[in-house]
Amino acid sequence: MKAWHFLPDDRRLANGDGRLVRKGHVARVKGVPSLCEHGLHASVNILDALSYAPGPILCRVDVRGSVVKGDDKLVGLERECLWWFDATRTLHLFACWCAERALKRAGVEDPRSWQAIRIKRLWLDGKASDSELCAARDAAWDAAWDAARDAAWAAARDAARDAAWDAAWDAAWDAAWDAAWDAAWAAARAAARAAAWAAAGDAAGDAAGDAAWDAARAVEKKAQRRKLLAMVKGARK
């Protein structure tokens, strides 16, 4: 079964294995595959694979041998690397894209938050220094806390802080994941809860808000998946 799998920078298998993964490499284990317990794992959805990423090396793999499927990953006794790709830059850019969507969704206008993302892109192109990146990160943090002092910004505070912080500084895979889930939808969930609560009352509002948030998250996940796949395809050309 075709799937996605991430490796550390050194392209070596984890859990004490240490084998170097190359194109065409087939890893094999014996026994009975069990999710999270035994076997060679991967994910059909690239975003699910990203959530387990130990590093930026993206592999397209074929998992075979008594495959067991879970909600966000699968496991088998064989995993062939069809191709691999150093996605470091791509994941940083994806993080910036996710962060921008988070800030837009939260209605953040403070230029310090947006500047952090702009500086991150310049840094990726060698046009901004590490010190400039640090300064942009710190300014974005200050912007988030300035906004948090106003009660009207409570729902957007975490989105602004996490999105700008992560896009400006954190490891690429953490940034993408945090910005995509924790940051972007904190504000969306709060807004959905507030609207539903006002219309239907406390208990009903919580249920309706949760439903709206879950539906919005599913739509966003599809958009993120399409975007990341397109970015990977473009970067590999």
Does one domain contain both 82 and 107? no
Give yes or no: residues 125 and 69 share one domain: no
| 116 and 81 assigned to the same domain | no
Mean of pLDDT over the chain: 78
Check whether residue 95 and residue 78 sit in a common domain: no
Are 132 and 37 within one domain?
no
| 195-220 per-residue burial string, b: 16 or more CB within 10 A, e: under 16 | ebbeeeeeeebeebbeebbeebbeeb
Same domain? For 81 and 173 the reply is: no
DSSP state of 38: B
Domain boundary among 70, 86, 102: 86
Tokens at 229, concatenated: 């796949």
Which positions ≥6 away from 185 have C-beta within 8 Å?
Answer: 213, 216, 217, 220
By C-alpha distance, which of 117, 71, 93, 72 is closest to 230? 93
Same-domain check for residues 123 and 214: yes
| C-alpha angle 92-18-10 in degrees, rounded to nearest 5 | 30
Q: Which of 64, 86, 108 is the endpoint of a domain?
A: 86
Query: Are 69 and 162 part of one and the same domain?
Result: no
Q: Is residue 77's pLDDT more than 90?
A: yes
**Boundary residue ending a domain (86, 101, 130):** 86
Token pair of 136 as six digits: 């942009």
For 35-47, how does the pLDDT look when each residue is reduced to its tens digit (9 = 90+)? 999 999 999 999 9
Number of domains in the chain: 2
Tens of pLDDT, residue by residue over 94-130, are 988 888 888 888 788 888 888 888 999 999 999 999 8
Q: What is the pTM of this model?
A: 0.72
Asked if residues 153 and 72 have their Cβ atoms less than 8 Å apart, the reply is no
Write a three-state SS string for 177-228: HHHHHHHHHHHHHHHHHHHHHHHHCHHHHHHHHHHHHHHHHHHHHHHHHHHH
Average pLDDT of the residues in 51-60 = 94
Token digits of residue 109: 């206008």
56, 123: one domain: no
Confidence at 155, pLDDT banded by 50, 70, 90 = very low
Give me the domain span that covers residue 72. Answer: 2-86
Residue 73 and residue 52 in contact, taking contact as beta carbons nearer than 8 Å: yes
One domain for residues 95 and 53 = no
- Report the pLDDT value the prediction gives residue 219, as an integer from 0 to 100: 78
Q: How many CB atoms lie within 10 A of CB 86?
A: 15
| Cβ count near 20 (within 10 Å) | 10
pLDDT in tens, 165-223: 445 444 444 444 444 444 434 444 444 444 444 444 444 444 544 555 566 677 788 88
The answer on pLDDT for 49 being more than 80 is yes
> Tell me: the pLDDT tens digits for 123-154?
999 999 989 988 988 888 777 666 655 544 44
Judgement on whether residues 74 and 168 belong to the same structural domain of the protein: no
DSSP 18: -
> 218 and 121 in one domain?
yes
